[in-house]
Amino acid sequence: MLAVTALAVVGLPVAAQVSGRIQVTDAGGRPAQDLGNAVVYVEGRGPRVTGTRVDMSLDARQFRPRVIVVPAGTTVNFPNQDPFNHNVFSLAEPNSFDLGLYGRGETHDHRFTRAGLVRVYCNIHPRMSGFIVVRDNAWYAQPGADGSFTIAGVPAGQYTLKVWHERAGEASQAITVPSGGLSEVTIALDASGFQYVQHKNKYGQDYGTGTTRERY
């Protein structure tokens, strides 16, 4: 469960907003079912949000939630709810980290100070992956299950609206926001060619090749 403390936003207009819907197409033209795992954001020099503290739990060899979006300066807790050890890490610069080995009931954390996409893995379990999108302004959202989103407080002007999705990559669209806000924006992404590729461990090597002695 995502635990979020109160956010302090400075100078955020309440009337203006950008809203719309994303669409992701899977193989065979089927609509994707994981639209809520996308992140939608507006690039630009916007108001900042103070860092907060959120949870990304380790549960049943999965990161829960799998995808979160947070403001720069946020500390993410990684509580281990499994009855065996985990070693959470990321090689994503400039937000790389390694929390080391820890067991059930323990929590390690990391503070993310720079904007960017952080791919998070476990050095023991090769199919564990999570994603943290760190933003440097307050203009971001995660869509609902139907793909709908609303980003509040975007003043009139010209911007680039971006959408990231784990299996479809990133798409962008130039938008012009009038003083009353912008609605009915649609961005389509194509995940039909997605193929799973196992990530490397924290040493840059394949799993199961003598790279780690860490076990459950």
**All structural domains of the chain with their residue ranges:** 15-47+139-203, 48-136
- Would the pLDDT of 106 be above 60? yes
Which is higher by pLDDT, 117 or 12? 117
50-64 in b/e form (b: 16+ CB < 10 A) is ebbebbbbbeeebbb
How far are the Cα atoms of 11, 46, 68, 113, 198 from residue 2, in angstroms, in the given order?
Answer: 26, 25, 8, 19, 26
How high is the pLDDT of residue 213?
43
CATH number, domain 48-136: 2.60.40.420
Q: Could you give the percent of the chain with pLDDT greater than 90?
A: 84
Superfamily of domain 15-47+139-203: Carboxypeptidase-like, regulatory domain (2.60.40.1120)
